Amino acid sequence: MLAVLLVASAAEPPQGPWEAGLRVERQHMRVLGAWSVANLAGGTAGALIADGPRARTFHGTNAAWNTVNLGIAAMGAVGVARGLREPIPNPDTVARRHRQLHRVLAVNLALDVGYMAAGTGLWLAGGQTGPIDHRGAGSALVVQGAFLAAFDAIFLARHRRVTR
């Protein structure tokens, strides 16, 4: 899915920074939405048919994590649609909004590293708390954190490039 974003940017017509930024945001919200739906479906199915607490926890954690991602993708899509309907803001407002998004994505990257670190810690701790297997939950956090780190890094790089 991330490779699609890199290829998609190769043949895009030139636009102003506002429209170009919204186009990148829309593409990324679609990828995040697709990732979320795939993880919700696969995680739910996997949790229902898995043998053992580790696999059940892994799949269930992936499904649960992506309810949040799907909400973020939906809110982002609504924001992009609103941005496309409204008049283009003045250049100072455009620059300020782009800087805000870039800061949010940079903070998200740091959080993504934190998710992977927490997941690694859970995995290393091992054991179980009730039906929750720490290795299963930790593995899921590493997978989700790794995807989100790549996603946020590509999103930030592409958005910075087109909004200069």
Structural domain includes residue 9: no
CA torsion 2-69-18-93 (nearest 10°) is: -140
Structural domain includes residue 5: no
Structural domain includes residue 6: no
Structural domain includes residue 86: yes
Q: Is 128 helix (H, G, I), strand (E, B) or coil?
A: strand
Residue numbers of the domain that contains 55: 15-162
- Between residues 132 and 81, which one has the greater pLDDT? 81
Q: What pLDDT digit, counting tens, does each position of 82-108 carry?
A: 999 999 999 999 999 999 999 999 999
Q: Is 14 helix (H, G, I), strand (E, B) or coil?
A: coil
Structural domain includes residue 8: no
Total domains in the chain come to: 1
Q: Which tokens hold the place of 121?
A: 């810690």
Structural domain includes residue 139: yes
The pLDDT value recorded for residue 67 is: 98
Q: Give the up-direction half-sphere exposure of residue 121: CA atoms within 13 A in the CB hemisphere.
A: 6
Res. 136 pLDDT band, cuts 50 70 90: very high
